[in-house]
A and B are shown apart, each in its own frame.
Chain A
Amino acid sequence: MIGKYVVRFASLGYLFGLLAAPLGYVFWRTFRHGLGPAWAAVTTPDAVHALKVTLILTAIAVPCNTIFGILAALSIVRYRFPGAGLFNAVVDLPLALSPVVVGLALLILYGRGGWLGGHGVVFALPGMVLATIFVSLPFVVREVVPVLREIGTEQEQAAATLGASTIQTFTRVTWPAIRWATAYGVVLTTARALGEFGAVSVVSGRLAGKTESLTLYVQDRYQSFDEVGAYASAVVLALIAVSTLLLMTMLKPKEETR
């Protein structure tokens, strides 16, 4: 009997000490003197630019990876092709790679002297976009693949025998089945893209107002002894994360929630 309480309090204590307390403390520190100073800190031109950069990176990466995700999931599950296993493994690679390594690879490929080297990719927005796409690539694929596997091809085949074109089959049969998994994958992709730090650290030129994302801005403020600025921008990112969390909870595939 006691065992249950021990496990419960150990678990809750662990979660509290590791997650809830630090985050709560930062929120408290940020808003301790009221909304004013925090608001001023996040509405400086540099902060606003940084938020814009982060949003641009996300707004490009998410749609690209979503389209890719659906095409890739269909390819892996439905359309047998040589190398599908390898394809699957490569899709998972971004999850196992250190973000610094990702940034380095892009730097080598697109920097001066690289195979695709030249102008305006690294140390500029395009490089950061590529980095963000790279690190947030797998999520839609991974969410859609199991669903596609589960629903099987019966309905799609039935639609084909009834004369439906491929597109019609997709929009009327496949899509309704995978749409929530896709939505969940989109939310995960968005969270990952918004929070990217390591890879963009390497490929960004840290041009304040141009290639400084909000995550880089947090680090910059901390290193300039601007604690209020650092914490306030961190809180902005945390709030976005929490909203993402709420979406994740709502859209989560049923098997994991009670």
Chain B
Amino acid sequence: MRRISLALLIALFLPALAAGASKDTKLTLVAYSTPKDAYGQLISSFQKTGAGNGVTFSQSYGASGEQSRAVAAGLDADIVAFSLEPDITSLVQKKLVAKSWNKDKFHGMVTRSVVVFIVRDGNPKKIKTWNDLLKPGVQVITPNPFTSGGARWNVMAAYGGALRSGKTPKQAVDYLGKMWKHVVSQPTSAREGLVQFLAGRGDVFLAYENEAIFAQKKGQPVQFVIPKATILIENPIAVTSTSKHKTEANAFVKFLRTASAQKIFAQNGYRPVVASAAKGFNFPTRPQLFTIKYVGGWAKVEKKFFDPNTGVMAKIQGSGGG
């Protein structure tokens, strides 16, 4: 008897606990795995502004592909901030994000970065170019391209790097296959990959520049090399069409593109989309930098490389790499 009443009591309390914070506006931010620290600071900063007064946030971070699928499967979100455009496009197809999400002067992007090689202190294996990854004995870590957004950037950077060095598309795909044989681990997310690398696994970790900077800030003994040919990473952000607080959500996204917010991103290692905010930070431009358009644009690339059954990566992975 007592147990029944206890259970009932708790069941009654639950909604109260959940509704507890309903006085303030609560926005849910679902993001990819790496920008947790950055958003923590940005949210505090936003809350000090007029538009952000009284707005609280619920945040979730995880591998970009996973998070996108979670939102599609029912995870309520007001703002989605993923690693790459396709993870938002899939939500547009499910009518969870409006078609017009990227029709602004930033094309829907909020931060930039580049793909780098994170290596051990001193770079003992002298890994500087994409060809160096094929040196015998070199162990590569890259996240799983089917769960992690960062991994897809890595693959396209490798492919594009091969093209830049004069290879034909077919040869570039061959290069990917050869490189993948050096991959010893494919963790689920970019952040997990960093954890593994720092725990001693592998010689080189293919990562976002901002993750490398993050690791250094946390006092980890790593250094990174930006290869001559690398891809410009652009991270999108959007307000969902199912959001119940579109005004506040849009205000937050607008805030993220102000110079002061972009400076906070820069301090966390992200290349800003607002040029003036980059002043004073060291974000070198590499001579053979290219964008996703150079390798065909995301729509084509998703189909050709990342289709779970017929994609190039599906074939390479399934054949027992590493």
Contact = CB atoms under 8 A, between A and B. Distances in A.
Contact of A206 (B14, B61, B192, B195): B61
Contact of A60 (B11, B18, B195, B220): B11
Q: Secondary structure at chain A's binding surface: helix, strand, loop or mixed?
A: loop
A222 B199 CA distance: 11
A225 B195 contact: yes
A56 B10 contact: yes
Contacts of A111: 73-74
B39 to A, nearest CB: 11
B60 A63 contact: no
B150 interface: no
B279 interface: no
Given A60-B11, A111-B74, A123-B76, A208 B4 contact: no
B46 to A, nearest CB: 17
Nearest to B198: A225
B59 interface: yes
Nearest to B77: A205
B195 A67 contact: no
Contacts of B51: none
Q: Secondary structure at chain B's binding surface: helix, strand, loop or mixed?
A: helix
Contacts of A208: 58-61
A66 B3 contact: yes
A112 B195 contact: no
A123 B73 contact: yes
Contact of B28 (A113, A120, A207, A223): A207
A192 to B, nearest CB: 17
Interface string B44-79: 000000000000001111100000001011111000
B218 interface: yes
Nearest to A108: B73
| Size class of the contact patch on chain A | 20 to 34
Nearest to A186: B3
Contacts of B76: 120, 123-124
Contact of A123 (B18, B75, B191, B192): B75
Nearest to B5: A63
Contacts of B30: 205
B11 A107 contact: no
Contact of B60 (A120, A205, A222, A225): A205
Given A63-B6, A123-B70, A208-B60, A222 B18 contact: no
B96 to A, nearest CB: 10
Contact of A222 (B17, B74, B195): B195
Interface string B298-318: 000000000000000000000
A63 B73 contact: no
A112 B60 contact: no
A229 to B, nearest CB: 13
B74 A60 contact: no
B126 interface: no
Contacts of A198: none
A121 B195 CA distance: 31
Given A56-B17, A208-B58, A209-B58, A63 B3 contact: yes
Interface string A25-66: 000000000000000000000000000000010011001101
Contacts of B218: 225
Contacts of A60: 7, 10-11, 14
Given A206-B62, A207-B60, A208-B60, A112 B191 contact: no
Contact of A207 (B36, B59, B220): B59
A107 B69 CA distance: 12
**Residue among B60, B62, B74, B191 with the most chain A CB within 10 A?**
B74
A107 B58 contact: no
A67 B4 contact: yes
A224 interface: yes
A144 interface: no
A223 B195 contact: yes
Contacts of B18: 125
Contacts of A117: 74
A107 B72 CA distance: 12
B244 to A, nearest CB: 13
A210 interface: yes
Nearest to B66: A206
Interface in A61-85: 63-64, 66-67
A210 B75 contact: no
A56 B62 CA distance: 24
10 contacts: A63-B10, A66-B3, A113-B73, A117-B74, A123-B70, A123-B74, A205-B75, A208-B59, A224-B191, A225-B218
